[in-house]
Structure 1
Amino acid sequence: MPARGKHRRPGNSTLIRGIVAAGTGGAALALPLVGATGAHAAQPVQAAQAAPNAVPQVSLVTYKVVKGDTLSKIAKARTTGDWKKLYKANRAVIGNDPSAIRPGLKLTVGTKNGRTPAKTAKATTASAVTPAAATTYTDDLDGWIKQSLDVMAQQGIPGSYDGIYRNIIRESSGNPQAMNNWDSNAVAGTPSKGLLQVIDPTFTAYHVTGTSLDPFDPVANITAACNYAAARYGSIDNVFGAY
């Protein structure tokens, strides 16, 4: 049994308490907890296949020139935009001066009629990338530790399964609802809570983003405690007693 007064409030080296008053008899419990952090699922990603380079599909029509028209204006409005090609196709009607078009002239115009793929006119159907399988965790001590380790790996927090498990068994016997109501922290109004017996000020200071804000949440409790242990001892693996 750790000596009385090992856990202090934040102003005097905030600590995590190591004694369970829940009386679990040393057996690891696997109790579900409402609000436990859910499994981190890889989000599905969808992407459409890129269509081949497209070319304009055209059809030939007769266009009657009106007042104010120019070859450039007609080309931009009714063709692919190249007035020189329009002039070349209608030179016999226009004459040698491309600026000499006049109202009433009838030009053969290749109108823009939509766009189709260069190699095929078949529509390309969007294809979704197969989503990665979601990681699932069992709602028990083993699952909580494994989920915490995944969160810790993402955040660069050191620790091993064995180190976490060893400290949980000593601190709470695996009961996520364990709370110490008798030590100096409890008397001061900050009882130790959860699997790794974290007091509220420590949980708040070392809470890991992405986990629950509930100190009794198994995954949130483990990751916050391991974050604290990493800052104070280098890793939860280096903790072998009250911390």
Structure 2
Amino acid sequence: MPAKGKHRRPKSSSFSRGLAVAGTGGAVLAIPVIGATTATAAPASVHSATAVKATLAAKPVTAVKASPTSYSVVAGDSLAKIADALNVSGGWKQLYQDNQSVIGGNPAVIQPGLKLAVGAPASAAGTTSLTTATTAITVSAPKYANNLDGWIKQSLDIMAQHGIPGSYDGIYRNIMRESSGNPLAINNWDINAINGVPSKGLLQVIQPTFAAFHVPGTSMDLYDPVANITAACNYAANRYGSIDNVFGAY
């Protein structure tokens, strides 16, 4: 992305083609991408929201203050159902706020296997502590593969948190054109290079543009795949509406 002039794909690229990606295949943008993980089946030890609710009704006891724990989503669950069954203070909105980074931008869609952090239930007589109703499960951050597919997915997750538009296909297409998926790609021949600010990374971003459109929470290293991707997509959104609208040098 040019501060002055425009980005062009390096005249000769010896970019590594060995960054195979799962599923959709993968080239890597010079911008760090955040990937999503596939939901897994809920552990047998975790009750469904319906079962938990039944347990609460069957064992009325004085409320006990419980430490924050977690809940594993099963088929048929919704944030409202889970919040109601576990007597979550603040209801489904609080549950969503506490787990937005895991759920994503649509609170109406939660996949089976998702691990939701659940704070202490609201204090009220006649209810039981959450710790007696379900088995605590350690909540871990999403895992992203250290390849083009993982970088794009991770970037998309970060972009969603900041309201930056873009799709996997749009990012992948532009990365392949700009760097062939090589996060260390650098253009040493175009107008930007002549001006002393060569385009670098997966999406061939120049340093001034990277600094101006850097997304908080990502690395300050221009070569970092996820940081490079998210900054480039932020720039593209500002200038073209979305990285999906970019089909050439930008």
Report the TM-score, using the length of structure 1 for normalisation. Answer: 0.56
Name the counterpart of 2:230.
Answer: 223
**C-alpha deviation, 1:23, in angstroms:** 1.5
Contact 1:177–1:195 (CA<8 Å) still a contact in 2? yes
Deviation string, structure 1 residues 37-76 (Cα, Å, up to 9, x no partner): 88898699685678887xxxxxxxxxxxxxxxxxxxxxxx
Residue 20 (str. 1) matches residue 10 (str. 2): yes
Query: For residue 215 of structure 2, what is the amino acid of its counterpart?
Result: V
> 5+ residue gaps in structure 1?
1-5, 10-14, 54-123
- Alignment partner of 2:167 out of 143, 160, 172: 160
Taking CA–CA contacts closer than 8 Å with sequence separation of 6 or more, which of the two structures ends up with the larger relative contact order? Answer: 2
Name the counterpart of 2:247.
Answer: 240
Deviation string, structure 1 residues 3-37 (Cα, Å, up to 9, x no partner): xxx9443xxxxx651212562369464699xxx68
Contact 2:197–2:207 (CA<8 Å) still a contact in 1? yes
Q: Which residues of 2 match residues 84-163 of structure 1 at below 5 A?
A: 129-163=136-170
Report the TM-score, using the length of structure 2 for normalisation. Answer: 0.54
Structure with greater strand percent: 1
**C-alpha deviation, 1:187, in angstroms:** 1.2
Distance in 2 separating the partners of 1:37 and 1:163: 13
Deviation string, structure 1 residues 126-176 (Cα, Å, up to 9, x no partner): 789534342111100000000000001111111100000000000000000
Question: Cα 1:172–1:50, aligned 2, differ >3 Å: closer, same or farther?
Answer: closer
Contact 1:28–1:175 (CA<8 Å) still a contact in 2? no
Contact 2:35–2:156 (CA<8 Å) still a contact in 1? no
Question: Cα 1:7–1:202, aligned 2, differ >3 Å: closer, same or farther?
Answer: closer
**C-alpha deviation, 1:193, in angstroms:** 0.4
**C-alpha deviation, 1:233, in angstroms:** 0.5
Runs of 4+ with >2 A deviation = 6-9, 24-32, 36-53, 124-134
Name the counterpart of 1:191.
Answer: 198
Distance in 1 separating the partners of 2:34 and 2:237: 24
Secondary structure in 1 matching 2:232 = helix
Contact 1:138–1:144 (CA<8 Å) still a contact in 2? yes
Query: For residue 140 of structure 1, what is the amino acid of its counterpart?
Result: N
RMSD: 3.6
Question: Cα 1:8–1:50, aligned 2, differ >3 Å: closer, same or farther?
Answer: closer
Deviation string, structure 1 residues 195-221 (Cα, Å, up to 9, x no partner): 000000000000001000001000000
Question: Cα 1:166–1:37, aligned 2, differ >3 Å: closer, same or farther?
Answer: closer
Query: For residue 220 of structure 1, what is the amino acid of its counterpart?
Result: A
Question: Cα 1:225–1:125, aligned 2, differ >3 Å: closer, same or farther?
Answer: closer
Query: For residue 177 of structure 1, what is the amino acid of its counterpart?
Result: L
Contact 1:48–1:126 (CA<8 Å) still a contact in 2? no
- More deviation in 40-49 or 179-188? 40-49
Q: Which residues of 2 match residues 20-59 of structure 1 at below 5 A?
A: 20-21=10-11, 23-24=13-14, 27=17, 29=19
Aligned length, in residue pairs:
163
> 5+ residue gaps in structure 2?
21-26, 37-100, 103-114
Secondary structure in 1 matching 2:160 = helix
